[in-house]
Amino acid sequence: MASHRKSRPTGTRVAGIRTPALATAALTSVALLSQSANAAPEADDKPSLEEVEKKVDDLYRQAGSATEKYNAAKEKTAKERKRADALIDDVAKRTQKLNEAREQLGSFASAQYRTGAAAPDTATFLLADTPQDYFDQTQLMDRMTGRQKVAVDDYVTQQSETMKKRQEATESLETLTESQGALKTAKATVQRKLADARDLMSKLTAEEKARLAAIEKEKREEAARKADELARQQAAAQQQAQDEAARQQDSGSSSSGSAGSGSSSATAPADSSYATKADKALAFARAQIGKPYVWGAVGPGSYDCSGLTQAAWKAAGVTLPRTTYDQVNAGTTVPLSQARPGDLVFFYDDVTHVGIYIGNGMMIHAPKPGTYVREESVYYDGESAIHSVVRPA
């Protein structure tokens, strides 16, 4: 007997909700949760503006360090190239003299062999590459005339000196190759650091760049405040020294007066001489304000930091080394509180930046790539960044 029951639908219903609607809602929830989960790590992974600023500053500082290494390698390469060229020229001249000595010995030997005035061994000796090996043969030497002996001695001397110079030239060329390698490495390092810094800056939004500019402005204002404070301290110290000198002059003591006048006569010319040179160096540095920083540049259109200080003091008749590493040792170290216009102010533990002091806590320097030669507080990167002050003349 046939059943009268209706077949059960294959689809299902849950509390009056159709299955497709339930699935759509569930999928939407999952998608939203997934987006939220993915969004959080992205926000967390993005560095803060302060971190970006520090990273960029570090990259520029590393580029500055690499620039000084590049400058040192470039200077060494130039010296080694000059030395190698001189040695090669010297070897060529000595080789010519050696050939002339050899020809003279050959003519002696040929003449003696034709006339029978000497044994065949004599010709062999005179034409040998190393006649020194035969010097112990006294019988052969006895048969030589005085002129012949002089010729032999000259040949041996020329041969020895030529071999020595050839060895020096070979070693110089090897050193030159090493210097060129160091130069290439330093250049690549500078370019890589600068590219990394530019890449970081390019990823900042307009708002972030504005905030970064505000942070830089606050740093400049604080640096200016510190410079004013240093200027007041230096002015007070100078006034105190002048007052002390005036008291000594008015003391009325003849011995003290004699000693004081002697001291003044000893120090005044030196102070005057330094001030004159410093004025010339500062006049040159001021004339460069507005020119771009370019790593490895020594002017006249652009400068790096040590290139600027070297050129400024050169204008005053004082020769400074090329790099900050050497410039820091090219004078007398003085406390910052006693810094005078013209002194060199060095920065960072690795001594990779330098500026020229102009007074009142200010300096002229070529800061970093993308900037221009300018006047700025010596505290531009904080008090802890200051390494030392050196008086170069």
Question: What is the full DSSP assignment across 152-172?
Answer: HHHHHHHHHHHHHHHHHHHHH
Residue type, 204: L
Catalytic residue status for 353: yes
Residue type, 246: A
| Cβ–Cβ < 8 Å for 271, 34 | no
Question: What is the full DSSP assignment across 286-331?
Answer: HHTTTPBB-TT-BSSS-B-HHHHHHHHHHTTT----SSHHHHTTSS
Q: At 371, phi and psi to the nearest 5?
A: -120, 180
Residue type, 186: A
> Of 61, 76, 322, 365, which one is the catalytic site residue?
365
Burial string for 267-276 (b: 16+ CB within 10 Å, else e) reads: eeeeeeebee
Beta-carbon contacts of 206 under 8 Å, excluding residues fewer than 6 positions away, are: none
> Of 165, 291, 353, 391, which one is the catalytic site residue?
353
The shares of helix, strand and coil residues in the chain, as percent rounded to the nearest 5, are: 70, 10, 25
Catalytic residue status for 387: no
Per DSSP bridges, beta strands 386-391 and 332-334 are antiparallel
- 175: tokens are 């050193």
Q: Which residues are catalytic?
A: 305, 353, 365
